[in-house]
Amino acid sequence: MNAPATPELPVAVIGAGPSGLAAAAHLLDQGIEPLVLEAGPAAGAAVREWAHVRLFSTWGEVVDPAAEKLLAPTGWTRPDPATYPSGGDWAEQYLQPLADALGDRVRLGTTVTGVSRTGRDRIVDADREQQPFVVHLTHADGREERIFARSVIDASGTWATPGPAGGSGLAALGEHAASDRITYRVPNLKNPATRARYAGRRTAVIGSGASAFTALAYLADLAKSKDGTGTKGVWILRRGISGSTFGGGEADQLPARGALGLAAKAAVDEGHADAVTGFRTEAVERDTDGRLTLVGEDGRRLDAVDELIVLTGFRPDLSFVNELRLDLDERLQAPSELAPLIDPNQHSCGTVYPHGHRELSHPEPGVYLVGMKSYGRAPTFLAMTGYEQVRSVAAAIAGDLASADRVELTLPETGVCGGAGLFDTSDTREPDSEGCCAPTPPLVQLGTPTTVGATAEKAPASGCCSS
Ligand SMILES: Cc1cc2nc3c(=O)[nH]c(=O)nc-3n(C[C@H](O)[C@H](O)[C@H](O)COP(=O)(O)OP(=O)(O)OC[C@H]3O[C@@H](n4cnc5c(N)ncnc54)[C@H](O)[C@@H]3O)c2cc1C
């Protein structure tokens, strides 16, 4: 028998990360019961996996206002808003207490495996919107269950589905077979076993975002330490190197985010990493001694490395929401209305305009992808975006459209414009008049000249501000 689609049903929130827990706090603030379903064994399970990485956001930027309101009566004290937490601090000092305050509204060890309309698969129209959502769960002990919900907020992030090494977006030939020497995360070099894995070794880092900067800076620190003599990074970039390659530096409105790029630049300038530009990985070949040789689509073969760190971004897992009628952008796999606001082909400056429930709505009413997942493959997500999204979505679910429509958050710019797009092309666009885009930054010559590819000579396209 189907459960009725009544307001008594909870709103199912998938994921007890920063966005999911904030969603629950906002729903409670609206007088709506949330049920948070978390696959991991603790709140903030994804954040805990990068516990060793320091955020470039301050505490003041990663605590949600409704969550703080919920925490206040528990005696929780807000950490100094001007200081920078690590992922571990964020999980222990904020996400865990927040989950505790939500009590049994958070179910841990509970993986959502499917969401649909009760009794209606994707193609059935009849009375569709009158049916509650049905959510299939698998518990840590293998038990299966289904629950019903009046609305579904998918805040499951993208952490579990990192991008591959292959330049075409597919795993490179040989990538799976070389998995014992590949990681898709920023390694924790404070862990002795992990440190020993990279110390004195030659490691390729593929990627051009904040995580790649962090990994390069970590390897450089290791190279400078007593136990790390001989450690060397090889930085693999799809594009040429320009002034924007390292992020906005001092122009970044988040100084710690800008500093990550400067640390990566220092790693290259000081000779701890060589940059290989214009390189799209086609194959990962294993030598007889077990080392890996990267082969580019242009036929270039790089000197063998001991380890490979792939930091090419993340993708949303859409498999468990496949029975829902979602409207997703064909490039980013983000909600279609949101995608133009965050498309890195166009918004290389990282500016994101205020958005809320309207941009996050789908043809299937009552379903919202929020948080990191709402950005699909776009790399510029910030927790504060997620907090504003879920405030708006919770108000919309409560029927308070005036509040839901009042989205005001304008995010800090990265300070990078015109060069942080995705590809070197001959297409050049004019900067806009909003002041977000500077002229195309000049190319910068770095590292050992022999390792800098031909594309470094060519100016990259201005990829921003066309909308
Ligand atoms: C190394 C690193 C550094 C970062 N630094 C910053 C920073 O300084 N500032 C900033 O604003 N942002 C930063 N980010 C981005 C950051 O990830 C987000 O701001 C934040 O973690 C996103 O929160 P979320 O709740 O949307 O997703 P997540 O944190 O990924 O949480 C998703 C949760 O959903 C759970 N889940 C996944 N699938 C399922 C399922 N099927 N069923 C049930 N549960 C599921 C996961 O276990 C996880 O707990 C950083 C990211 C990384 C990787």
> pLDDT tens-digit profile of 414-431?
655 443 345 554 333 333
Decide: 99 in ligand 1 pocket, CB within 6 A. no
Same domain for 48 and 78, yes or no, is yes
> pLDDT tens-digit profile of 115-165?
999 999 999 999 999 999 999 999 999 999 999 999 999 999 999 999 999
370-382: average pLDDT: 93
Residue 331: which of 320, 346, 319, 321 has the closest Cα? Answer: 346
Decide: 236 in ligand 1 pocket, CB within 6 A. no
CA distance 231 to 386: 38
Decide: 184 in ligand 1 pocket, CB within 6 A. no
Q: Which atom of ligand 1 is nearest to the CA of 22?
A: 25
DSSP letters, 402-430, are HHHH-----PPP-S--SS-SSS--S----
Residue 294: which of 281, 276, 279, 278 has the closest Cα? Answer: 281
Model pLDDT, residue 44: 98
Same domain for 122 and 182, yes or no, is no
381 or 319, which is more confident: 319
Phi, psi (rounded to 5 degrees) for 249 = 55, -130
Residue 396 domain flag: yes
Whether the CB-CB separation of 164 and 172 falls below 8 Å is answered with yes
Whether the CB-CB separation of 417 and 244 falls below 8 Å is answered with yes
Residue 368 domain flag: yes
CA distance 134 to 112: 11
Decide: 212 in ligand 1 pocket, CB within 6 A. no
Q: Which of 351, 382, 405 is the last residue of a domain?
A: 405
- Angle made by CA atoms 108, 152, 162, in degrees to the nearest 5: 65
152 or 240, which is more confident: 152
Decide: 45 in ligand 1 pocket, CB within 6 A. yes
Decide: 17 in ligand 1 pocket, CB within 6 A. yes
Instruction: Please choose from 47, 374, 411 the residue to mutate so as to test ligand 1's pocket, defined by most ligand atoms within 8 A of CB.
Output: 47
Same domain for 337 and 430, yes or no, is no
Residue 349: which of 440, 217, 228 has the closest Cα? Answer: 440
Going by their DSSP bridges, the two strands 144-149 and 110-117 should be labelled as: unpaired
Same domain for 189 and 276, yes or no, is yes
Model pLDDT, residue 373: 98
Q: Which of 380, 405, 430 is the last residue of a domain?
A: 405
**Which residue, by CA, sits nearest to atom 20 of ligand 1?**
383
Decide: 37 in ligand 1 pocket, CB within 6 A. yes
Q: What's the one-letter identity of residue 246?
A: F
List the domain range (segments joined by +) for residue 61. Answer: 6-160+314-405
Ligand 1: centre distance to CA 443 (Å): 33
pLDDT band of 445, cuts 50, 70, 90: very low
220 or 464, which is more confident: 220
CA distance 35 to 424: 45
DSSP letters, 426-460, are S------SSS--PSPPPB---S-GGGS-GGGGSPP
Judged by average pLDDT, the poorest of 232-236, 275-279, 451-455 is 451-455
Q: What's the one-letter identity of residue 204?
A: A
Same domain for 153 and 244, yes or no, is no
103-117: average pLDDT: 98
DSSP 8-state symbol, 67: H
Decide: 20 in ligand 1 pocket, CB within 6 A. yes
DSSP letters, 182-204, are EESS---TTSHHHHHHHTT-EEE
The answer, yes or no, to whether residue 457 has pLDDT greater than 50, is: no
Judged by average pLDDT, the poorest of 83-92, 193-202, 452-461 is 452-461
Half-sphere exposure of 434 (CA within 13 A, CB side): 14
CA distance 227 to 223: 8
Same domain for 166 and 289, yes or no, is yes
Tokens of 74: 């528990």
Decide: 374 in ligand 1 pocket, CB within 6 A. no
Residue 413 domain flag: no
Same domain for 19 and 144, yes or no, is yes
Ligand 1: centre distance to CA 155 (Å): 9
The answer, yes or no, to whether residue 453 has pLDDT greater than 60, is: no
Residue 391 domain flag: yes
Residue 465 has a CB neighbour count (10 Å cut-off) of 22
Same domain for 361 and 439, yes or no, is no
Tokens of 97: 């207490």
Q: Can you tell me which residue has the tokens 């918004």?
A: 347
Residue 54 has a CB neighbour count (10 Å cut-off) of 16
> pLDDT tens-digit profile of 214-232?
999 999 999 999 999 999 9
The chain-wide mean pLDDT, for the chain, equals 87
Same domain for 240 and 322, yes or no, is no
The answer, yes or no, to whether residue 452 has pLDDT greater than 80, is: no
Q: Which of 357, 378, 405 is the last residue of a domain?
A: 405
Whether the CB-CB separation of 108 and 42 falls below 8 Å is answered with yes
Decide: 215 in ligand 1 pocket, CB within 6 A. no
CA distance 323 to 332: 20
Whether the CB-CB separation of 155 and 13 falls below 8 Å is answered with yes
Model pLDDT, residue 103: 98
Q: CATH number of the domain at 302, please.
A: 3.50.50.60
Residue 415 domain flag: no
Residue 410 domain flag: no
Same domain for 154 and 178, yes or no, is no
- Cα 34 to Cα 16, 131, 385, 391: the distances in Å are 11, 18, 20, 13
Decide: 211 in ligand 1 pocket, CB within 6 A. yes
Residue 198: which of 179, 178, 177, 183 has the closest Cα? Answer: 183
Judged by average pLDDT, the poorest of 41-50, 350-359, 426-435 is 426-435
CA distance 214 to 187: 9
Same domain for 78 and 200, yes or no, is no
Residue 49 domain flag: yes
CA distance 12 to 321: 13
Q: Which atom of ligand 1 is nearest to the CA of 62?
A: 11
Model pLDDT, residue 439: 36
350-357: average pLDDT: 78
Ligand 1: centre distance to CA 372 (Å): 6
Model pLDDT, residue 463: 29
Q: What is the number of domains present in the chain?
A: 2
Residue 422: which of 161, 191, 75, 168 has the closest Cα? Answer: 168
**Which residue, by CA, sits nearest to atom 6 of ligand 1?**
55
Phi, psi (rounded to 5 degrees) for 105 = -75, -10
pTM of the model: 0.88
Same domain for 123 and 133, yes or no, is yes
Residue 1 domain flag: no
Model pLDDT, residue 9: 97
Q: What's the one-letter identity of residue 255?
A: P
Model pLDDT, residue 422: 52
H or E, element range at 36: strand 34-37
Q: Which atom of ligand 1 is nearest to the CA of 382?
A: 11
Beta strands in 247-387 (DSSP E): 273-276, 281-286, 292-296, 307-310, 367-369
DSSP 8-state symbol, 373: G
